[in-house]
Amino acid sequence: MSLTRTTCPYCGVGCGVLAGVDGTIKGDPDHPANFGRLCSKGAALGETIDLEGRLLHPKVNGADTDWDTALDLVAQKFSAAIAEHGPESVAFYASGQLLTEDYYVANKLMKGFIGAANIDTNSRLCMASSVAGHKRAFGTDTVPGTYADLEQADLIVLVGSNLAWCHPVLYQRIAAAKDARPDMRIVNIDPRRTATTDLADTHLQIAPDGDIALFNGLLAHLVDGGKLDATFTGNHVNGVAEAISAARASNTADTGLTPHELNAFFTLWAQTEKVVTIYSQGVNQSSCGTDKVNAILNCHLATGRIGRAGAGPFSVTGQPNAMGGREVGGLANMLANHLELDNADHRQVVQDFWDSPTICTKPGLKAVDLFEACANGQIKALWVISTNPAVSLPDSDRVAAAIAKVQFVVTSDIMEKTDTNDLAHVLLPATGWGEKDGTVTNSERRISRQRAFLPAPGSARPDWEILSDVAARMGFSEAFDYQKPADIFAEYVALDTAASHIARDLDLSIFADADYAGLIPTQWPRNDHRFFVDGRFYHPDGKARMIAVTAPILSKPRFTLNTGRNRDQWHTMTRTGKSPRLGAHLAEPYVEVNPVDATDLGAAPGSLIAVESIYGRTLLRALITPRVAQGQLFAPMHWTRQRTTAGIVNSVTAPLTDPFSGQPALKSCTVTAQVY
Ligand code: SF4
């Protein structure tokens, strides 16, 4: 049987997959992200392609209908809201699961034709703080290195990242590198002991949100120890003195680490030239996430340990195409092709290229604010595409109530029953993984094809096509006259060419004459490229910025709730929930409780614990373990209201956001806990 070369639809590692219509799944030995490896989720993809529960036909108010009726209604409702209340009265909320072509069309419709920037995505929950931190430091949202850097490093520092469960194939690559070079050192910085800690030489069990104090302390240590690279910073970095001054004002006692632990880490970092700092949601999902990112970047910039083989900061993206979404401007504060929304020249280039009647002139609503605007009546028409915000946003009961208030809600989804679909007036059946064609970009800027190997079920259609048909019905048929995903990818590349006179990191010229059908996984701007080798950054003066960041004053509540992923589930379990094999790993919602706290609470293994905040409550099975420190709880975020009647985790989490990125602080929420 022939197998189709495609990519995994889960995490940002972006593994190549060989897939067959009978459910055969193999790792693609020729894909440079995984060289044939797959994790448990990727290996179980064949168990998730059945049609049970699929949304197969459009529905209006719960009744099956035809596409023309559904799309006419969507276009009419959006057009009417815009005519009566203006372009800011409508919004799209999309997903890092979308393919780049889907993202491009949604972004183009909202920003160039509707004329507002109210398109945000669940990438806001994932990487927004990294984006903001990159732009502050580099002038662009640039991931400098490649996966090969992780294998060439002598020291890997993993910050707020359970790589073993959340990016398993990267973890496997690092484990193999350490096996081959046992002198490689790995430091795991995490308030919780995780599966990733097993690989580490050192676990620094940091206080929640203690990262800025830690990296500020490291920066001060590097400067005091003569490790400031004065030549590099003198030629290529501004803001050095201010950042050092702010670092000196931090108190490393706020890290919760002992002086011995701190000194050992600082010394190891200072003495190791080839150091890669990998960071993920423990850094990003914080009310000070952007400052955490810049605290890390400051240390690399101060020492010139960036743009070199085996050295640099490395943000790993949670979702399969968060990077592709960022490239085509799929966030409310971005334009397209790494062009700037707040730059009139950039806007003009995009508007001219799109030949569009308008262009948004100010940032739109970021995810948490977008649903608040639903609650207060600003948003009259909402389109949710390939995501389930009624479960995944913090303070999710309020988000669900906010969606229910919107006059007209349309969702595009592969499944019929979801918490968000239950609130929608129109459901549009989308094709899913294995049924649709397009491209994705992984965490190392590598663009790969996702290819269809299954027929579209029922009357399901790809998202780009649904969006284009609505655009045509709103009067924009010429600009959205795409026949196939390759047409959209070609336009995306052509926009890059049209903007080539604007200095940016994005450069898609390698794809100008690409064979879309046979496209092999390719990094932009070119394979194995490492940014900043020449010390040139993208601020107007060509220099990077070290940013003065101040550690937050940490409160010490009785309990702090940390949330995250399980090894074998993905987001709200839409697909992974179908696999008995994956479900067997951790079968029900649980909360990790430290043994001392369990004794205090009178909890036994398996007790039901009521975890409550000012926002809501959930009941979770106690998993008593020293993996979490005293005063801390951890609960996975996967279970929906359809899978548990005991309350979902995001009913409890707080809608607090980072002031720069708008990313919610899903890793540390003040809660109470008691045995139920
Ligand atoms: Fe898929 Fe990520 Fe696993 Fe690779 S590591 S198989 S991309 S979930």
Q: Do residues 149 and 78 share a domain?
A: no
**Mean pLDDT to the nearest integer, 5-33:** 97
Q: Do residues 590 and 443 share a domain?
A: no
| pLDDT one-digit tens code per residue, 163-204 | 999 999 999 999 999 999 999 999 999 999 999 999 999 999
Kindly state the DSSP code that residue 474 receives in the 8-state scheme: I
Q: Do residues 331 and 455 share a domain?
A: yes
71 alpha carbon – ligand 1 mean position (Å): 35
| pLDDT one-digit tens code per residue, 562-593 | 999 989 898 888 888 888 899 889 888 999 99
Q: Do residues 240 and 365 share a domain?
A: no
Task: Give percent of the chain with pLDDT exceeding 70.
Answer: 100
Pick the atom of ligand 1 nearest to 9's CA.
1
For residue 322, the model assigns a pLDDT of: 85
Check whether 647 has a pLDDT greater than 90.
Answer: no
Q: How many CA atoms lie within 13 A of 471 on its CB side?
A: 27
For residue 645, the model assigns a pLDDT of: 81
C-beta 42 within 6 A of ligand 1: yes
C-beta 10 within 6 A of ligand 1: yes
Which domain does 21 fall in, by range? 4-48
Q: Which residue's C-alpha comes closest to atom 4 of ligand 1?
A: 15
Q: Is the ipTM of this complex over 0.90?
A: yes
CATH assignment of the domain containing 336: 3.40.50.740
Check whether 1 has a pLDDT greater than 80.
Answer: no
Using pLDDT thresholds of 50, 70 and 90, give the confidence band for residue 213: very high
The DSSP H or E segment spanning 657 is none
At residue 646, the 3 state secondary structure works out as coil
Task: State residue 426 phi and psi, 5-degree precision.
Answer: -125, 130
* Assigned domain for 507 exists: no
Check whether 456 has a pLDDT greater than 80.
Answer: yes
At residue 60, the 3 state secondary structure works out as strand
C-beta 13 within 6 A of ligand 1: yes
Q: How far apart are the first and last CA of the chain?
A: 54
* Assigned domain for 229 exists: yes
For residue 642, the model assigns a pLDDT of: 86
450 alpha carbon – ligand 1 mean position (Å): 14
Q: Which residue's C-alpha comes closest to atom 3 of ligand 1?
A: 39
For residue 318, the model assigns a pLDDT of: 86
- Cα distances from 49 to residues 25, 91, 458, 578, in angstroms, run 11, 31, 14, 9
C-beta 33 within 6 A of ligand 1: no
**Mean pLDDT to the nearest integer, 406-434:** 97
11 alpha carbon – ligand 1 mean position (Å): 5
- With a threshold of 0.80, does the pTM exceed it? yes
Q: For the stretch 597-615, what's the b/e string if a residue is b when 16 or more beta carbons lie within 10 angstroms of its beta carbon?
A: bbeebebeeebebbbbbeb
C-beta 39 within 6 A of ligand 1: yes
Q: Do residues 431 and 571 share a domain?
A: no
Q: Do residues 148 and 102 share a domain?
A: no
Average pLDDT, the chain: 96
| pLDDT one-digit tens code per residue, 39-78 | 999 999 999 999 999 999 999 999 999 999 999 999 999 9
Pick the atom of ligand 1 nearest to 34's CA.
4
Identify whether the C-beta of residue 19 lies closer than 8 Å to the C-beta of residue 6: yes
Q: Do residues 312 and 204 share a domain?
A: yes
CATH assignment of the domain containing 294: 3.40.228.10
CATH assignment of the domain containing 621: 2.40.40.20
> How many separate domains does the chain show?
4
Q: Do residues 593 and 657 share a domain?
A: yes
Q: Do residues 246 and 157 share a domain?
A: yes
Check whether 609 has a pLDDT greater than 80.
Answer: yes
Q: Do residues 353 and 473 share a domain?
A: yes
Q: Do residues 70 and 18 share a domain?
A: no
Q: What sections of 139-203 are H helices per DSSP?
A: 147-152, 163-166, 168-180
At residue 282, the 3 state secondary structure works out as helix
Pick the atom of ligand 1 nearest to 169's CA.
5
| pLDDT one-digit tens code per residue, 286-333 | 999 999 999 999 999 999 999 999 999 999 998 889 889 989 998 999
